[in-house]
Amino acid sequence: MRNQEEQSLKEARRVEKRAAEEAEQLTKDQARRKANLVREEAIEKASKARKTKRTEKRAAEEIGQSAREEVRRKANLARERAIAEAQEARKLKAKKQPPL
């Protein structure tokens, strides 16, 4: 009988120890999942911030590029206009001069 009581006591201790270990493991797993979630959220937040920064930078670059293209277009137009005016002036000058 004594042996059976000891065996039951050992079994009860083993069950309690296992329950405590399972509870501890569950707590560790929950803490790990929470830490992973926090880390993933931080990564996602940083990623969104980088994306926003890239988008803003690209928009600023596009505005600058657009302004440079407009300046270049106006300069080309002014140059073409000056060439056309110079050609017209030469034609008028040639008409006014008597042939030799």
Structural domains counted in the chain: 1
Does residue 5 or residue 76 have the better pLDDT? 76
Give the pLDDT confidence score for residue 54 in this predicted structure.
97
Q: What is the pLDDT of residues 7-66, one digit of tens each?
A: 888 899 999 999 999 999 999 999 999 999 999 999 999 999 999 999 999 999 999 999
Task: Flag whether the pTM goes above 0.75.
Answer: no
89 lies in some domain = no
**How many helices (H) and strands (E) in the chain?**
1, 0
25 lies in some domain = yes
Mean pLDDT of 86-95: 90
18 lies in some domain = yes
Integer Cα distance of 33 and 39 in angstroms: 10
Q: Can you give the residue range of the structural domain that contains 22?
A: 1-71
